Every structure is written in C-alpha cells, then in structure tokens.
Amino acid sequence: MGPARVLYICDLNAHGGTQTHLLQMLAGLDRSRYAPAVGALTLSDDLRRKLTALDVPFTDMALRGAFKASTLRSLVSLGNLARRQRVDLLHGFLYQGNIVTSAVSQLGGAPYVTSVRNMDRWKTTLQRQVSRLAHAGASRIIFNAEATREETIATESIRRERTVVIRNGVDVPERDRPPAPPDRAPTAACVASLSSKKGHAVLLDAFSIARKSLPQARLLLAGDGSLRDRLAWRARENGLEQAVEFLGHRDNVRGVFEAADVVVLTSVEEGLPNALLEAMAHGLPVVATDVGGNREVVEHEATGLLVPPADRDAVAQALVRLLSDRNLAARMGEAGRERVRQQFGLRTMLDAYMRLYDDVLRRGRRSRT
C-alpha cells in the first residue's frame, strides 16, 4: 500500500519554535511509513533550502492576506493538489495554518489534525470563533503542553476528549558539555526571538541589577526579531554595551550553550519552549518565568529556578544565585539533562506523533468503508 502521505501546513517565513519543531519532525519521521510534504503559507529562502536538504516536497502558497483573490486561488490549488496526490492526512500548525488546513480538508477530502503551540492571547473574540471552527472538523487537536490545552479549552470551548498533549522533544547530546575555563566570566544566555512576549526588556533590567553583585558577568542573546534596535538601546541605557552580545539568529545553538553557565527565559507567555529543553539537554541549569508550559519542563530547585513573570528583581536574584555557585549550577544542569533524557526525548515525541497518525488513519479508513 505504500507509506501514508502526510501534508503539513504551516507558515515558514520565519525561524521560531514551531518551524524548528516541524523540521525535526520531517527529519525524524519513518519514511517507510509516512511520505511527508509541506504546504507553506509563506516560505523564506533559508527554510526553502532546509526543506530541499531534507528531500521534502513543498508548495509555497505565498499568502499575502485573508481577503485576496490570490488567497482563494492558493487554497483551491492546494486542495486540488491534495486530492490529485491522494494525501491521506493533513496536519496544520498555529492559528492560520489550522484555518487553511480545515479549508484544504474540505476541498481535498483528507482527514486532518490541528496543533496549538502557544497561548495566543492576542486573538480577538472573532478570531477565537474562527479558530474553534477550524478545530471543529479535526480528528484530533494537538497541544504541546497541558497549559496550552487548558487555556484553549477554556477560551475556545473545545471538547477535551478530542484533544491530546504531545510535548516537544529534543536530542540529548552523547558527549558532555566541555567544562568552562576557570577564568571565564560568569555567563548567562537567552535563546529566543526578539519579540515582546519573550520579555527581553525585563531580562536586560534584571541583568543590570545582577551585575551589581557580579560585575564581570556577561549575557548572550541568540535570536533576531523586530525589537533588536530597541533592545540594543535599552542595553546601552543600562550601561551594558560591553556586557551584552546580540548574536542574531543561530541555526545551531550548541556553541551558545557551550559558552554559557546558565540559560534564562523571561517570557510573559509560553507554550512549551524548545530553548529550555535544549539547554537542559546540554547540561545547563535554567532560569525561567513561571508561565505556560515552563513549569512542565523546569522542576523548581531541582533542574533550575522558576520566577514570577515581569519580576526583574526575582530574575536578578536567580541569576546571581546560579552564576555565583558553580556546584549548584552543575547539579541542576545534570538533573535537567536526565529529566530531558527520560521525559522529553526526540524519539519519544516522534513515536507519539506516529501513533496518533496511525490511529487517525485507521479511523478514517473505517469511516469510508
């Protein structure tokens, strides 16, 4: 019968947690069981190259707005493609991707699943109603954390029995992180897009406070986004020009982790961030705000420290504590690595998705007979 054809529908015009997650899935799927393809709402040149390297066929819908004739043509075209190629299953990601997936399912006839990976508190009442309609026809609604599931059930009135949580997974490096040089300045790192929900302004203020106790401390910011210039200005205002380094987007953050003693994430809202999992997989303790799925990743006082959101003093105290006590940091880092190995491995995540796909496909076949 051949592998099941799965069409993933997602915006691929920027680097973020969802895009990283999708690339992980495409690389790790058992190709003897599944033949993946991608329908990109929009597609950046870099991600186009990555899909090509993974030998995954793709269609760039090049959507430029909801109420444009070109959008309708793209939807019809993708629906026809799904029908011609006899796609067995559609998998949508995020608000817009879920809506498009629902429409393509109607046009192409394949069952679909949707994914919610963020709190999406920016949605208006109308947008939540539209989102609920997109989920209504889905065989399953997939969440990456209990926190995102609970909030979405409450705000979009989704039936719990149609939901499933599949947490993000990452590879755990085989080799240990090299020990820090004894003369290296205490170094914290943040791996996150430079957007308002990631809370970098609070982080910069907190780091300025922390440097009163640790004047040699450094901060590495890996990621890019619309707030880069504003955050660079804030760093200058706090007198941090020589202490903070803006690294821009990094495809591979191993070097960032090897240069750091602690990883910090000061988001005001989150789903379940890969950055924390990757840091812990590399044996680093973490400081994270107690929002969204962070609590499902970080075991407070065991693998890192949870702090209240938007509390620069609490962030500063946590940074000072871990940056000034290398033995404590090492114990938490090793505990975090073991937690990821046991509960958040990439293989565990991929196996959960493939079991879900098999279940949806079986149900779809029974409903057609």
In this model, does residue 183 exceed pLDDT 90? Answer: no
In this model, does residue 249 exceed pLDDT 60? Answer: yes
Distance CA 131, CA 18 (A): 18
The predicted pLDDT at position 67 comes to 64
Domains of the chain by residue range: 4-169+345-368, 187-343
The predicted pLDDT at position 179 comes to 78
The predicted pLDDT at position 251 comes to 86
Q: What are phi and psi of 284, to 5 degrees?
A: -105, 140
pTM for this entry: 0.92
Q: What percent of the chain lies above the pLDDT cut of 70?
A: 98
**151, 123 in Cβ contact below 8 A?**
no
Q: What is the DSSP letter of 123?
A: -
Spell out the residues 6+ positions from residue 117 whose beta carbon is closer than 8 angstroms to its own.
17, 18, 21, 93, 94, 143, 144, 148, 271, 272
Spell out the residues 6+ positions from residue 319 whose beta carbon is closer than 8 angstroms to its own.
188, 206, 207, 210, 214, 217, 262, 264, 287
187-343: CATH topology: Rossmann fold (3.40.50)
Q: What percent of the chain lies above the pLDDT cut of 90?
A: 87
Mean pLDDT of the chain: 94
Distance CA 58, CA 42 (A): 11
The predicted pLDDT at position 368 comes to 47
4-169+345-368: CATH topology: Rossmann fold (3.40.50)
25-60 confidence digits (pLDDT tens) = 999 999 999 999 999 999 999 999 999 999 999 999
Lowest mean pLDDT among 86-90, 248-252, 276-280: 248-252
Distance CA 261, CA 350 (A): 30
User: Given this chain, do its domains 4-169+345-368 and 187-343 carry the same CATH topology?
Assistant: yes
